[in-house]
Chain A
């Protein structure tokens, strides 16, 4: 079993839809949870960062962490064509959030105008 599982998609939604992206994990030691957005042929861009459980909202993006279920989610409201990208979840159990980071394989999202 991989440490971090993520449905690779592709996921295709109409513009304005609510998008739900998810990851599951097996290592209960993970404490830091991140979501990155990666456009084609570019480096990943940090979207959301969460420490331990709970929700965090930033504009159209909401990140949720459920440590009891070992499940994290990223919701995108009012999705736009510019949101079309690959979304990578990442998590860490090191002393800092950038120590021992494990990435999911990424979900490819297309938002259709």
Chain B
């Protein structure tokens, strides 16, 4: 299957600082990438949809000024958690969609990034 790389896998930051997480599609070009948040023993919560070259579409309740998403190229999307607080500590996962409607396509996930804000 397609490979999506996410970095860093784990990060600890101080409260009030900003953290950037990168999501790369390694063997395909992804016009659409997705960012999810997952709390322990819960399912994935879609935060935003990122389209290359345009502004991200945020889900209801997700603060776009706090979770900055940039999709500057067809292989890279970044999520920046600004002014992080302990309640932002979570598992953040990105995914990328193969841009070939009609063929067997779906979304492929990165390995996830554990963010701990202290």
Q: A residues within 8 Å of B by Cβ?
A: 8, 32, 34, 36, 41-46, 49, 51, 88, 95-99, 101, 103-106, 108
CB neighbours of A99 from chain B (8 A)? 32, 97
Q: B residues within 8 Å of A by Cβ?
A: 1, 4, 6, 32, 34, 41-44, 46, 91, 93, 95, 97-98, 101, 104-112, 114
- Complex CA gap A44/B6 in Å reads 13
CB neighbours of B110 from chain A (8 A)? 43
B105 touches A98 (CB 8 A): yes
Min C-beta distance of A35 to chain B, whole Å: 11
CB neighbours of B4 from chain A (8 A)? 43
Min C-beta distance of B77 to chain A, whole Å: 14
B93 touches A43 (CB 8 A): yes
Min C-beta distance of B73 to chain A, whole Å: 19
CB neighbours of A49 from chain B (8 A)? 104, 106
A44 touches B109 (CB 8 A): yes
B111 touches A96 (CB 8 A): no
- Complex CA gap A93/B4 in Å reads 23
